[in-house]
Amino acid sequence: MFSGVSFGMFRQMFKSLFPFLIVSAVQAEPISFSRDVLPLLSDNCLTCHGQDESHRKADLRLDTQESASEVIKSGDLIARIISDDPEEIMPPPKSHKPKLNTEQIDTLKRWIAEGAKWGKHWSFEKPVKVPAEGNPVDFFVKAKLAQKGLKLSKAAPEHTLKRRLSFDLTGLPPSSEQTVDSLLASPHFGERMAMWWLDAARYSDTDGFQSDATRTNWAWRDYVVESFNANKPFDQFTLEQFAGDLLPNATPEQKIATCFHRNHMTNGEGGRDKEESRIDYVIDRVNTMGTVWLGLTLGCTQCHSHKFDPITHSDYYSLNAFFNSIDEDGAAGTAAKPYLSYQSPHAKRAVAEAQQLVDQRKPIEGKARQEAEKPFAKWLSERQSNVKADFKAWHDVRGLLESQEGTELAQDKDAIVSASGPNPKQDDYRLIAPIKLPRITGLKLEVLPQDGVLSRGKTGEFILTDIKVQVRRKGSSQIRDILVSNAVADTKIEGKAREYGDVKGTLDDDPRNGWTTKGFPKDQPHTALYALAKPLVLDSDEELIFELRHRSTNGDANIAKFRLFASDQPGPAVRELAPSTLEQLAKGHIEKDRLMAQFLEDHAPYQTAKASLDLATAQLKEVTTAAGKLNVMVLAERKEPRDTHVLVRGVWDKKGDVVKRDVPAAIAPWPADLTRDRMGLAKWLTSKDNPLTARVFVNNLWQMFFGAGLVRTPDDFGLQGQRPSHPELLDWLAVDFMEHGWDVKHLIKLILSSETYQQASNQTDQADPTNLLLSRGPRFRLPAWMLRDAALQSAGLLNSALGGPPVRPHQPEGVWEEIFMGRFTYEPSQGAAQHRRTLYAFWRRSIAPTFLFDSAQRRVCEVSMTRTNTPLQALTLLNDETMMEAAQALAKQMLASPNDRLQLLYQAVLTRQATPRELSVIQRELDRALTHYRDHPADAAKLKSTPELAAHTLIASLVLNLDQAMTHE
Amino acid sequence: MSEHSLQTTRRYFLGQCTGVSVGAMALHAMGQQESVGLPQLPHFAAKAKRVIFLTQSGGPSQLELFDHKPGLMQWAGKELPESVRNGQRLTTMTSGQKQLILPGITKFSRHGQSGSTISEWLPHLGEVADDLCFIKSMTTDQINHAPAMTQFLTGHQLPGRPSMGAWISYGLGSMNRNLPDYLVLISKMQRPSDQPLYDHYWGSGFLPSRYQGVKLRNSKDPVLYLTDPEGLPRHLRRGMLDGLAEINQMHFEQTQDPEITTRIRQYEMAYRMQASVPELTDLSDEPDHVFDMYGPDSRRAGSYAANCILARRLAERGVRFIQLFHPDWDHHSRLPSWCSARCRDTDQPSAALIKDLKQRGMLDETLVIWGGEFGRGVAGQGKWDSPEAGRDHHPRCFTMWMAGAGVKHGTTYGATDDFSYNVAENPVHVRDLHATVMHQLGIDHERFTFRSQGLDFRLTGVEQSHVVKGLIA
């Protein structure tokens, strides 16, 4: 029974994957060259017998009628395919391509028997609108289904349809009564479309590559959102992005539009040849145009003529010529001209929002400071009576001594450590000591003269390249590093970062810099203070390890004599060399301001308020800068156009023949009246004679709403791509789109009002496993960005403001720091800015936002969707801070309602009522959680919750993680 | 509850099999995929079950570490003959200056019965010389870091192709159902690195993203989002996931969408990882003598040395491809302090890993690879006769070593010219290395392809590449 079912299924899958084979086997229709024969030739023959001259074998071409006619007529073509002789058989064994099967051979034989009619690949033929009755989508889909004896599924339930429409058109779950028209009119429509366009445009807030510098191109994102919201015709949208700068009386926004072609990565790596980079950028533009407008893998022709599609090596560089005279020089960072200096109207709102947050937090900080006065007075009077005249802020450290390379170290009664014995070129000293202080806030290192000099080296100068502070527990194998946040010394040396001098060089593990007191008296002691990032509390069985590394380039500069102290005093005491406030106090000097500062440093309520204010202030400063004039990368022609050469094998400095601006004739001719510039190129792309652009656009939209395109390789409409499942439908929509002046909303409405779109998505019918025939509605996991937006919206947290500078949603600590070894740090946005839509999330090219999965990487253009299903995604949706915030906000809503709490949760997240079976499961888990948290209120407290809130939060998280909550149904 | 409800769930699904062929078959198929990879692989009997790739990012200097050229002393300070340079491109950091020869600044000695030449900066490596196979004739096409590393790991200079680890985990699948197949460990360094380690270095390119390398971080969350919030005990998470699975399953009955069953499985895998990953990364059960073997740095979590211990633990647990990254080998200046520092980080732990695997009988089935994206040039950068001098990037030749899993040990393959500038015999292109690694895993690199954008891609690309027989025992 099982095998019977599976056989049927395989047959279906086989059919859907290789429709042409089945069709040819049925012998009903005559052979179609483009449908049946060309794919066979392309898959099996054209690698060696295509238009790419450099890889052509036996001087034989099978990609044109003329050149193939001889072997067809002579019978050689079939003879070689069916031969048993390993020397004769085609494709040859060493190509690793399997032999053609009987059906394939039969197809070729029949084609020849029917006269070997030649034709073009389908996508290079102009689309034609064949008559359709009623909604064209339904007309063609039903016709195809009827051929297979199938019908459309019944309509999806109302709540499902409501969600489907809302997600498709705004990327958000439904909030109220919505119609297709109201959704299309929503400002969130533009945001939803923009997310797709930004992926295709490889938009990012940073350059990428090694330096990955920040750029300020977000005004272009706002241009995209506004364009979609204004329903700008796609030909106009194209024209502005290709050539906004060349338009007569161009507005600043039209110039900003050209940033589309500057969104590529820019490489500022040291040692990089700028001209090579510049050529890379030109190539990236052509490849992106190929994918987004033409659906062609033009990148293949960078190095050689296309093996499959009728695009030659020289065609490729003729396209490059349109972009080769931009006034740019390949630089990155802040030198990536041309720029437009632009002040965005969208940043004001962000400034007001940030100001509001500062205004809100300032009085809290003020109040906290005021409230600290009283405990400060108490603390001061206690200190005044307790601090004895012999009070010491610093306590000497005594312990075990070790050296790596053999220096002998010994500590005397004054805790001074002296070096003797062997004197290696480089050495590491370690002092390992238990420290009997309530806590450690900093360490003081005194380097002392021995025989009038500071080191054991010839010059008498020491070089301390690095220090390490670590903690070891007795009996444990593990050592942990303690972070030192600051270093100061009594010798101030201005120097380059890679020189010996400044004591801060001892903190970075880099042996090329470090502390030396060269130039200061050698017969005097010198002092360095190290402040720990956080006070360190040692357990009784823990020891501190202080390591002094002498690993300088020339060596021979090991310290001769030193002493180490530790302090438990906060703030200035471990950051400034001046005597500490309490030492002063002990001597009778009351320095009230410094004392207060020191007190506040340890006063947690004040520190919390201050940290929160500091973050808000930093955010205000950032958005205020963003509200001023910013440089946006745009296109502009240079005065002297550059010559464009064919690049031999695609290598940037191997220049071949000079080429002029032109387009591949195989796609569409160049209209006679157009100027040979980017404006002309944009108009050629959207000309009625161009067979690709409208089809590719329709297909991308289709993919957005159905989870897969009518052509399932949205980035490849060429010979190696898949054929459309419904060619007449694709063509009908493409022609209609052009006839309606490239009206995007019109096209969308046409598709979404079809019965096909509105079908239920249940997969009860096995006849169409991959839904190639569209016998049911689309069911697929929503993109990760929609999941975040939906959770925020359901929980009532979403800040639905439009436009402006990027924000930084929650992300686990340290991810940027790890990649850049600390060069960039990520500070999540504060207040309402935290809950903006994901579209506005800061995009660092080297590390995309961690909470997004299966998203485009934005390094190069991407239009195909990936949808995987992994444990890492499960972990993200369970534990991401935003998801937890949303769950808690939902729990609060539930608790605020007197009854029907679980139904309220279902309604908020899934837009429907829970079934009794679902309710019983949810209730059971809620009860279990309630019992636990009531019995263990401490666990609830860890979640900053009451037992009720904690339990309801867990249940809200459960519902947010349901398959239905994350699925386009 | 533990695994109980999962078992019930599975039985339930399989029980439904007769009526629900699509979902059940999908479930069945996925189960197979997870354990055995592609049905046609391996193409032939494999020597290696797994790979540990010790990636040294930045371009270690072959002249200071392995490629001993005593004859260079007489060329010190003289200009590199044009006949040797022969048009080699330089980076713009040194293209404007005279190419004055800086002989290797380290002392070399011979080690083991094989007598391999190894620098004084790598004293521990000498102890395992007879287990290693040195390749002195490595060569690549790229001269800058990111393109060179991208080619070194994915076969192509531009991002977008799957990394070697992704190919292998896609092809061969997993040997452990509680851990991902491809794990990445990066040394924690204090100094901001000049070369970021992009995640496309372990990316899956056009392969499904489940094959991408999972980075094990040295932090509270070794895998991003792994740890449940404090205050959520394990049994409540279990209950929540049971409830989640039950409702998802109800929905599956209605929709018959096999993705739902996959999702249930993935949430269960997530739950298991929450236990298996911390158990893996907690080294406290390792005895002292292990730390002694790997060196003092191994006691510090996140160090290269600690990562070497982790690599062995991952190997023990059946992880297919384990890749370490140690950054900061880009020594344009101050070789004596800077380059020696990186040697100090890596020498003892790398050698200890070989010894450790051997002691445990695992070296025979584990392929260990050590190397970076390119080498360094013979000309000094900066003032050649000052200790301040360094070396610029050099793609034409560099040294790597391999060990274990059917590799010819105690041997040196290939050679460079008198200047360590050009390969003089038996060149091994990065592509050849890829082909050879695949071969040890039982894969014919020419027959292991994936179709994307209408083309059949393979790790070794379209240009000629060969399994290097001379590297194989």
Residue with tokens 């360190």: A536
Q: Which residue of B has its CA nearest to A944?
A: B231
User: Residue B370 sits in a domain of what CATH number?
Assistant: 3.40.720.10
Dump pLDDT digits (tens) for A435-449. 999 999 999 999 999
Count other Cβ atoms within 10 Å, centred on residue A430.
19
**Nearest chain A Cα distance for residue B347, angstroms:** 15
- Same domain as B245, residue B142: no
Quote the mean pLDDT of chain B. Answer: 87
- Same domain as A550, residue A411: yes
Number of residues assigned to chain B:
473
> Per mean pLDDT, which range of A629-638, A854-863, B192-201 is the poorest?
B192-201
Q: What is the pLDDT of residue A495?
A: 66
DSSP character for B326?
E
Domain final residue, candidates A86, A119, A152: A119
- Measured between alpha carbons, how far is A948 from A943 in angstroms, rounded to an integer? 11
Size of interface A-B (CB pairs under 8 A): 289
Q: Which residue of B has its CA nearest to A866?
A: B208
**Nearest chain B Cα distance for residue A188, angstroms:** 29
- Same domain as A904, residue A805: yes
Q: Which of B25, B91, B259 sits opposite A9 (nearest CB)?
A: B25
- Same domain as B392, residue B265: no
- Same domain as B248, residue B127: no
Report in angstroms the alpha-carbon separations of A503 from A168, A431, A910, A936: 58, 19, 59, 50
Q: How far apart are the first and last CA of chain B?
A: 51
Count other Cβ atoms within 10 Å, centred on residue A384.
12
Q: What is the pLDDT of residue A598?
A: 87
- Same domain as A566, residue A638: no
Tokens of A619: 């955010």
Q: Which residue of A has its CA nearest to B455?
A: A720
Domain final residue, candidates A578, A612, A635: A578
Which residues of chain B does A266 touch, with a Cβ-Cβ cutoff of 8 Å? none
User: If you average pLDDT over residues B101-105, what whole number do you get?
Assistant: 95
Structure ipTM: 0.85
Structural domain containing residue B203: 40-218+301-471
Residue A142 has pLDDT above 90, yes or no: yes
- Same domain as A957, residue A838: yes
In a domain, B292, yes or no: no
**A contact test, residue of B244, B252, B333, B443 with most A CBs within 10 A:** B244
Which residues of chain A does B180 touch, with a Cβ-Cβ cutoff of 8 Å? 871
- The values of phi and psi at residue A319, to 5°, are -70, -40
CB contact under 8 A, B453 and A763: no
Q: At what angle do helices A744-752 and A727-739 cross, to 10 degrees?
A: 140
CB contact under 8 A, B300 and A479: yes
Q: What is the pLDDT of residue A487?
A: 94
- Same domain as A936, residue A797: yes
- Same domain as B259, residue B117: no
User: If you average pLDDT over residues A501-527, what whole number do you get?
Assistant: 91
Residue A684 has pLDDT above 90, yes or no: yes
Which residues of chain B does A812 touch, with a Cβ-Cβ cutoff of 8 Å? 219, 221, 224-225
In a domain, A917, yes or no: yes
Which residues of chain A does B196 touch, with a Cβ-Cβ cutoff of 8 Å? 210, 212, 819-821, 846
User: pLDDT over 90 for what percent of chain A?
Assistant: 68
Q: What is the pLDDT of residue A204?
A: 97
User: Residue A523 sits in a domain of what CATH number?
Assistant: 2.60.120
Tokens of A144: 């195809």
User: If you average pLDDT over residues A445-473, what whole number do you get?
Assistant: 94
- Same domain as B398, residue B274: no
Q: Which of B91, B243, B263 sits opposite A924 (nearest CB)?
A: B243
In a domain, B209, yes or no: yes
> Per mean pLDDT, which range of A200-204, A621-625, B296-300 is the poorest?
B296-300
User: If you average pLDDT over residues A228-253, what whole number do you get?
Assistant: 98
Residues 29-88 of B with CB under 8 A from A: none
Q: What is the pLDDT of residue A818?
A: 74
Count other Cβ atoms within 10 Å, centred on residue A780.
17
- Same domain as B196, residue B75: yes
In a domain, B248, yes or no: yes
**Contact indicator for A605, A368 with CB cutoff of 8 Å:** yes
CB contact under 8 A, B230 and A511: no
In a 10 Å sphere around its CB, with 0-12 CB exposed, 13-18 middle and 19+ buried, how is residue A175 labelled? middle
- Measured between alpha carbons, how far is A243 from A256 in angstroms, rounded to an integer? 10
Residue with tokens 């004896």: A149
**Nearest chain B Cα distance for residue A762, angstroms:** 4
**Nearest chain A Cα distance for residue B413, angstroms:** 28
Dump pLDDT digits (tens) for A311-351. 899 999 999 999 999 999 999 999 999 999 999 999 999 99
User: If you average pLDDT over residues A667-678, what whole number do you get?
Assistant: 94
Residues 323-362 of B with CB under 8 A from A: 327, 333-334, 336-338, 340-341
- Same domain as A571, residue A445: yes
User: If you average pLDDT over residues A15-34, what whole number do you get?
Assistant: 54
**Contact indicator for A465, A550 with CB cutoff of 8 Å:** yes
In a domain, B225, yes or no: no
Dump pLDDT digits (tens) for A919-968. 999 999 999 999 999 999 999 999 999 999 999 999 999 999 999 999 99
In a domain, A64, yes or no: yes
- Same domain as B454, residue B439: yes
Q: Tell me which of B184 and B6 has the higher pLDDT.
A: B184
- The values of phi and psi at residue A593, to 5°, are -65, -45
Residue B385 touches partner A, C-beta closer than 8 Å: no
Q: What is the pLDDT of residue A65?
A: 83
Q: What is the pLDDT of residue A88?
A: 85
Peptide bond before B42: cis, by omega within 30 degrees of 0?
yes
- Same domain as B332, residue B467: yes
- Same domain as A943, residue A829: yes
Residue B191 has pLDDT above 80, yes or no: no
User: If you average pLDDT over residues B418-447, what whole number do you get?
Assistant: 96
Cβ within 8 Å of residue A920, ≥6 positions away:
none
- Same domain as A524, residue A631: no
Number of separate domains in chain A:
4
**Contact indicator for A159, A912 with CB cutoff of 8 Å:** yes
Q: What is the pLDDT of residue B453?
A: 61
- Same domain as B404, residue B329: yes
**A contact test, residue of B237, B242, B247, B451 with most A CBs within 10 A:** B247
Quote the mean pLDDT of chain A. Answer: 91
- Same domain as A964, residue A856: yes
In a domain, B294, yes or no: no
Cβ within 8 Å of residue A625, ≥6 positions away:
none
Structural domain containing residue A249: 211-344+627-690
- Same domain as A565, residue A422: yes
CB contact under 8 A, B228 and A879: yes
In a domain, A596, yes or no: no
Dump pLDDT digits (tens) for A818-857. 777 667 889 999 999 999 999 999 999 888 899 998 888 8
- Same domain as B316, residue B257: no
CB contact under 8 A, A551 and B341: yes
Tell me which residue of A540, A594, A606, A539 sits closest to A569, measured CA to CA.
Answer: A594
- Same domain as B80, residue B31: no
Which residues of chain B does A967 touch, with a Cβ-Cβ cutoff of 8 Å? 259
Residue B270 has pLDDT above 70, yes or no: yes
Domain final residue, candidates A578, A593, A619: A578
- Same domain as A547, residue A439: yes
Q: Which of A300, A478, A915 sits opposite B283 (nearest CB)?
A: A478
Q: What is the pLDDT of residue B67?
A: 97
Q: What is the pLDDT of residue B35?
A: 47
Q: In A753-843, where does DSSP find H-type helix? A: 755-758, 784-794, 815-820
- The values of phi and psi at residue A147, to 5°, are -55, -30
Dump pLDDT digits (tens) for A78-134. 888 888 888 888 888 877 778 888 888 888 888 888 888 888 889 999 999 999 999
Residue B12 has pLDDT above 50, yes or no: no
Number of separate domains in chain B:
2
In a domain, B296, yes or no: no
Report in angstroms the alpha-carbon separations of A654 from A279, A303, A331, A651: 12, 11, 21, 5
DSSP character for A959?
H
Q: Tell me which of B27 and B231 has the higher pLDDT.
A: B231
> Per mean pLDDT, which range of A10-19, A353-362, A563-572, A854-863 is the poorest?
A10-19
- Same domain as B360, residue B212: yes
**Contact indicator for A144, A773 with CB cutoff of 8 Å:** yes
**B contact test, residue of A478, A549, A775, A826 with most B CBs within 10 A:** A478
Q: Which of A267, A818, A938 sits opposite B186 (nearest CB)?
A: A818
**Contact indicator for A560, A450 with CB cutoff of 8 Å:** yes
Q: What is the pLDDT of residue A28?
A: 54
Q: What is the pLDDT of residue B79?
A: 92
